[in-house]
Amino acid sequence: MTKKSNDVILSVRGIQKSFGKQHVLRGVDFDVHRGEVVCLIGASGSGKTSLLRCMNLLMEPDQGEILIEGAPLFRRNGRERLRLSSSKVSAVRIKTGMVFQSFNLFPHRTALENIIEAPIVVKKVPRADAEAQARELLSRMGLPDAGNKYPSQLSGGQQQRVAIARALAMQPTIMLFDEPTSALDPELVGEVLAAIRQLAAEGMTMVIVTHEIGFAYELADRVVFMDQGVIAADGPPRELLLSGDNARLAAFVSRFTEQARLLSPLVAAADASSIATPSKDSKSWPT
Amino acid sequence: MNFDISLVLANWDLLAFGLLVTLKYTAYTCAIGLVIGLFVALLQLTPWLPLRLLGRVWVEFFRNIPLLVLLLWTYYALPIFLQIQISKEVAGILGLGFYASGFYAEILRAGVQSIDRGQTDAAVVLGMSYFQRMRRIILPQALRRMVPPLVGQTIMQLKNTTLLSVLTIPDLLYQAGYISSTTYRPMEVYTVIGILFILILFPLSALSRRFERREAA
């Protein structure tokens, strides 16, 4: 893909993080360029979610440096430490939009109120403008009629799409996704992946922690494999996922390819039937 | 057995006064308890350990001392320790108010802490400050959960005011004792005030129950 530019949006350097004796991040260097879609993969406990939460300082690293569009968000080198007021941190942090595994919508607010909350309270956008933007975002997420519904009245897939709209409402320059489909019923995964795919097509810069290897393979400009708190492999998905250079990565991927191989007769059968009956419009939104 | 309520009704003014005292002390001590309780709950919610410990000590002290002991100690022992004069009214209000604060503090703290951590994460990521997210995201959700236990504690508080009678504060129970000793009609008097307490408190607990059901729906 060629949409990647040399413009670095997010840069982390030498990130270290421990929980007690557990050293979850052991010196991670990582850059994201404008328009780039990076998928973070790795086994549970490899540090990928911790790394993502460090990127917008939701989790404070023990060591290292974080820059977002050149603005420092965190720096700590031994005892020397950059001191930022919480409003300064917040001003840099809101350049990132974040989507969580468990959605984390505000349950006492409707979908629309969830989306307009931060623009009104944090950015002081006039209510009418915020609502107009929210309605447009809901339409883009394929949920034009969900505005007045409470999160409990929406399916998991719908909630996650509202959560994406809520993050987009702050007009972030980079979106961070923390296993956005892991809490969903299997039949609802597709609609959320479709929404993310659409964002990628619009050129949004994204970092996605995911277990959907197929999705990473299809969508990512770059796949980063985390293992035991470090970046163990980093490259374009085709080269990275198909090469056997890194034994642990090969083992990690082989579980998915094994599954794909087992399912291949189904794929062949589905292909055969879709030739017989033309497939439905694949651009339409599942609901 | 001859249940004759006329002597009790003849003294209705004494009972009404007692009821007023009971309600007044309930209102005062609940207000004090809530204000101090909120402060102590906030202490316990800070990331700063010494403040958390201070809050913890306060809560454990007032939750584990029997109210009767606390009231008698405040009235009879505290003035000697501090070499000051404390009226029975002040002793009663302080004792009951501080006692309530320990329980209210725990309800408020637990209510806030029961809100999923992800709510804070989401609000932080959207750039909301501590006060913005407390006021707009955490507290509105927590308050709904707190209503039933807060009402329960307030019911307890009204019932606990009866202990003020040992400090000779003329609450409903004290007045009942007085009427009983002048009319020799304990059966009628104590029956009437028992029913009075139930009549006052039952609507409150029914209201709380209704609120709880509506929240669950």
Question: Considering chain B, what is the average pLDDT of its residues?
Answer: 91
**Of A97, A106, A167, Cβ closest to residue B119:** A106
CB pair distance less than 8 Å for B136 and A56: no
CB pair distance less than 8 Å for A102 and B118: yes
Taking only the tens place, the pLDDT of each residue in A32-67 is 999 999 999 998 889 999 999 999 999 999 999 999
Q: Which residue has the tokens 């956005």?
A: A180
DSSP of B147-175, one letter per residue? HHHHHHHHHHHHHHGGGGGGGT---HHHH
Contact present, B91 and B28 (Cβ < 8 Å): no
The predicted structure's pLDDT at residue B60: 95
**Chain A: residue nearest B121 by CA?**
A58
CB pair distance less than 8 Å for A106 and B137: yes
- Is residue A102 less than 8 Å (CB to CB) from chain B? yes
Gap between the Cα atoms of A138 and A161, Å rounded: 8
Among the ranges A167-176, A236-245, B15-24, B157-166, which has the highest mean pLDDT value? A167-176
Determine the structural domain holding residue B55 and report its residue range.
5-216
**Chain A: residue nearest B128 by CA?**
A122
What pTM was estimated for this model as a whole? Answer: 0.81
CA distance B44 to chain A (A): 21
Mean pLDDT of B108-122: 94
Element (H, E) at B57: helix B49-64
**What is the number of domains present in chain B?**
1
Check which CATH number belongs to the domain holding B89 and give it. Answer: 1.10.3720.10
Determine the 3-state secondary structure of A109 from DSSP.
coil
Gap between the Cα atoms of A21 and A18, Å rounded: 7
The token duo for A239 is: 């080269």
User: Where residue B216 falls among pLDDT bands split at 50, 70, 90?
Assistant: low
CB pair distance less than 8 Å for A104 and B119: yes
**Of B125, B128, B140, Cβ closest to residue A56:** B125
The predicted structure's pLDDT at residue A2: 45
**Of A97, A104, A166, Cβ closest to residue B121:** A104
Using CB atoms and an 8 Å cut-off, which of residues 37-76 of chain A contact chain B?
56, 58
Which positions of chain A have pLDDT values less than 50? 1-2, 278-287
Contact present, A165 and A138 (Cβ < 8 Å): yes
Provide the 8-state DSSP code for B31: H
